[in-house]
Structure 1
Amino acid sequence: MSYPHDLPQGDPESLQRSLSNRHLQLIAIGGAIGTGLFMGSGKTISLAGPSILFIYMIIGLMVFLVMRALGELLLSNLQYKSFIDFSTDLIGPWAGYFVGWTYWLCWITIGIADLSAIIYYLQFFNGGQEFSPTEGALISIAAILFIMGLNLVTVRLFGEMEFWFAMVKITAIIVLILVGFWMIFTGFTTDAGTVAQFSNLWSNGGFFPTGFDGFLAGFQIAIFAFVGVELVGTTAAETHDPERNLPKAVNSIPIRIIIFYVLALFIVMSVTPWNQIDPKVSPFVNLFSQAGIAAAAIIMNLVVLSSVMSSMNSGVFSTSRMLFGLAKDHQAPQGFGKLSKSAVPANALYFSTVCLLAGAGLQYLVPNTVEAFTLATTLSTILFICVWIIIMWSYINYRKQRPELHAASTFKLPGGVFTCWVVIIFFIGTVYILSLEADTFKALKVSPLWLVILAIGYYVFYKPKYLKGRK
């Protein structure tokens, strides 16, 4: 199967392979360390207690398996540039349309969640006072225009920005782990009079202090913490030597999950018992404050802000590439398929920016930033689960339709089709879990509306154009 957007490198209408191995590796790390970890882990700890460690390991394993399936699919045919290509080829045009537009909306909703997070953390520098809706909207607009400007220049600049954004996040977490170990081994006493020690993990109700219900309740924000890790697949089309670099990036995901999620939160809850962690305050900020490090709160808030900007940077990049691929497959307006002189899909970028600006207007409708964050993250989580399931479905079809490609693959998914069904059943179960909490159930009720909009758009507007364009 040929693809209209699979043009020779150097062609003015093709995406250029401008990202190096170090860019891809750090994008992979950055995708695995997002707003959900820095901003959402406090709430997750308050819901699930120390069992959050098991939650992250379980979800991390499932996401890693999705990435292995994604990696094998992308490397089985280098004409595949994104999820759109292989889902269209292996399932059908509707699947490419669905996954492309849904992934686009995923990052738009994450961008809106990130805007809420930016406003929330900038309140620290405003003396802790909440911003007015107008001030919140102006901050959002400034952040969106800044990120758009970065993405308009070159793909390589995006890679460089993500490289340094990720370096800031990695450094902060490593320092947190080292400081935490120092506090534990020196028997540091916190402001609340609690001694930092490993036994804090199990001496306050055990590993499951809130019971099975609390364990399930912790899944929503925990899953959101992992969204974006599949960005490695989106960037594969613009990476040097994907056969070598993509497997390295994917295979490094488990160790990153263990270090940046499990070990970091293991240390956090050893220093401060889970029932003393404020769900409204980042536990990362709290640990440095407890340690008495001068200007710790200022530094950590800046780190968290850089993490949020990194998430937005990745999101804007990803949405523009999804629209570019959709346009080349005649499933979006053709203007989105045009590249600027810098080989950037500028029109697609402008459209995504306008949608994010509309999201900034939500500050007027939902001035409570925590509530807005929860609604946006839940909706994006549901949509990401749909994308991950489509990836596994594509893999199942790939095994049936292209057994010779699987046999020749040097990067096979462990467990094959059986693994796919395990992952699909797990994610369907997580959608049910989202219905158990009142705040996440709100977004779950709204999500079918997107399916209706997609169905109308596909059958009324784009299916005729798509079929005509493929002749």
Structure 2
Amino acid sequence: MTEHQHQASPAAGGEGASQLKRGLSARHIQMIALGGAIGTGLFMGAGRNIAVAGTSILVIYVLVGFFTYMVMRAMGELLLTRHDYRSFADFVGEYLGPQASFYLGWTYWLSWVVTCIADVVVCGSYMQYWFPELSAWMPALSMLAILFLLNLLSVKMFGEAEFWFALIKVITIIALIGTGGWMIATGWTSPDGVTASLSHLTDPTAFMPHGITGFFAGFQIAIFSFTGIELLGTMTAETRDPQRILPKAINALPLRIIIFYLLSMVVIIAVASWPGVSAETSPFVTLFAKAGLPAAAAVINFVALTSAMSSANSGVFSSTRMLYGLSVEKHAHWQFRILSRSTRIPVRSLLFSCFWHADRHAVAVSGAERD
């Protein structure tokens, strides 16, 4: 992706007293892009993917990663053609008309309202691993309140939170690849008699073990794992130097997909073999347990918790910014484009979005209690 040189226009994306504050630095954007590419599905859903697709999961991740990169590159090129673009909804409105921008903006906002609630509910269930007597709604609602405060303080605080959330995921995957690589190199034999070897990858019975149906079923969680990567398309107006930073973040995606998805899948299958991967257990837990790490389940539960928190945090941010953009384009009430004087945060958009996050959470809890 190339860097663009254009003059900023005096619209909502530029600098000025009435504009969003450019508080996201290069390290924030790099880690947000990386964290968006590594979803909770990799940690908790990869076992089911391997179970149904076998070693063809590698082909699935290559295909999904390729199309993800192409979409992100196209989006980045369009966003950088003008400095006043705030999000992908802006160029959709310019090229397809205001109706398309209206539809895209509101459906994207609604999708994050639902997804964010799913994430905070999952956070509650992860907390029950350590506190089984705790009602799931309590940590979930507390998590939403914390994320609201993070997004209220400044865009830099959001970036810092996402930076550390992503770093935890990166460290975990590097630890998995390093541990698995050592087990493969030494010919590690697990207590159940499976010897770590790359030959498990070439086993013909492990490629599409459930036929073409299993192969296509593997796409579901694989695509879900990349959910959130489009967040870069809502951060243009708050990135310090988008013309330089965004191309670097997007161009680094292919290498990151190879390292964090393909290598982790290769290591898991080589160590555990396809029959040894359980659909009901995280393969990360399986591999660390085979390596003799007794706290494997607790560690991966913590990583999955931070991953869900990262997704929910992204949901609060993106729904707020999308609602702000809709208001600027007069597709939503004018009050949603009012910014705080000190932090340049669209506070009323944030309050409205978090209100609906909390409301949907209350509906989900009441429905669960009736059941």
TM-score, length-normalised on structure 1? 0.73
Structure 2 residue aligned with 1:342: 343
Give the direction of change, closer, same or farther, for the CA distance of 1:96–1:4 in structure 2 (3 Å limit).
farther
Which segments of 5 or more consecutive residues in structure 2 lack a partner in the other structure?
1-7
User: Within 1, Cα distance between the matches of 2:12 and 2:223?
Assistant: 33
Give the direction of change, closer, same or farther, for the CA distance of 1:124–1:274 in structure 2 (3 Å limit).
farther
Structure 1 residue aligned with 2:168: 168
Structure 2 residue aligned with 1:259: 259
Higher mean alpha-carbon deviation, 169-178 vs 115-124, is at 115-124
How far the C-alpha of 1:116 sits from its partner, in A, is 3.8
How far the C-alpha of 1:364 sits from its partner, in A, is 4.4
Structure 1 residue aligned with 2:276: 276
SS of residue matched to 2:136: helix
Give the direction of change, closer, same or farther, for the CA distance of 1:195–1:121 in structure 2 (3 Å limit).
farther
Do the aligned residues in 2 keep the contact of 1:5 with 1:328 (CA within 8 Å)? no
SS of residue matched to 1:218: helix
Give the direction of change, closer, same or farther, for the CA distance of 1:244–1:7 in structure 2 (3 Å limit).
closer
Q: Name which of 12, 22, 27 aligns with 1:17.
A: 22
Do the aligned residues in 1 keep the contact of 2:37 with 2:226 (CA within 8 Å)? yes
Output one character per residue of 1:288-308: Cα deviation in whole Å (capped at 9) or x when no partner.
122112433322221221111
Higher mean alpha-carbon deviation, 99-108 vs 139-148, is at 99-108
Equivalence map 1:240-251=2 (5 Å): 240-251=240-251
How far the C-alpha of 1:201 sits from its partner, in A, is 2.6
Do the aligned residues in 2 keep the contact of 1:35 with 1:114 (CA within 8 Å)? no
Give the partner amino acid of 2:367.
L
User: Within 2, Cα distance between the matches of 1:7 and 1:48?
Assistant: 44
Give the direction of change, closer, same or farther, for the CA distance of 1:225–1:236 in structure 2 (3 Å limit).
same
Output one character per residue of 1:82-106: Cα deviation in whole Å (capped at 9) or x when no partner.
1121111110001111111122122
Equivalence map 1:173-188=2 (5 Å): 173-188=173-188
Asked if residue 100 in structure 1 is aligned to residue 136 in structure 2, the reply is no
Structure 2 residue aligned with 1:56: 61
Give the direction of change, closer, same or farther, for the CA distance of 1:221–1:363 in structure 2 (3 Å limit).
farther
- Count of matched residue pairs: 360
TM-score, length-normalised on structure 2? 0.91
Give the direction of change, closer, same or farther, for the CA distance of 1:5–1:334 in structure 2 (3 Å limit).
farther
How far the C-alpha of 1:109 sits from its partner, in A, is 2.5
Structure 2 residue aligned with 1:236: 236
How far the C-alpha of 1:198 sits from its partner, in A, is 1.5
Give the partner amino acid of 2:357.
L
User: Within 2, Cα distance between the matches of 1:288 and 1:226?
Assistant: 24
How far the C-alpha of 1:366 sits from its partner, in A, is 5.1
Structure 2 residue aligned with 1:143: 143
User: Within 2, Cα distance between the matches of 1:364 and 1:43?
Assistant: 30
User: Within 1, Cα distance between the matches of 2:280 and 2:147?
Assistant: 27
Do the aligned residues in 1 keep the contact of 2:13 with 2:237 (CA within 8 Å)? no
Give the partner amino acid of 1:6.
A
CA-based RMSD: 2.0
Equivalence map 1:216-365=2 (5 Å): 216-340=216-340, 341-361=342-362, 362-365=364-367
Equivalence map 1:364-379=2 (5 Å): 364-365=366-367
Asked if residue 117 in structure 1 is aligned to residue 122 in structure 2, the reply is yes
Asked if residue 85 in structure 1 is aligned to residue 87 in structure 2, the reply is no
Structure 2 residue aligned with 1:403: none
Structure 2 residue aligned with 1:6: 12
User: Within 2, Cα distance between the matches of 1:60 and 1:86?
Assistant: 24
How far the C-alpha of 1:347 sits from its partner, in A, is 1.4
How far the C-alpha of 1:343 sits from its partner, in A, is 1.1
How far the C-alpha of 1:147 sits from its partner, in A, is 0.8
Do the aligned residues in 1 keep the contact of 2:35 with 2:166 (CA within 8 Å)? yes
Give the direction of change, closer, same or farther, for the CA distance of 1:206–1:317 in structure 2 (3 Å limit).
same
User: Within 2, Cα distance between the matches of 1:7 and 1:208?
Assistant: 47
Q: How many percent of aligned residue pairs carry the same amino acid?
A: 46
SS of residue matched to 1:125: coil
Structure 2 residue aligned with 1:198: 198
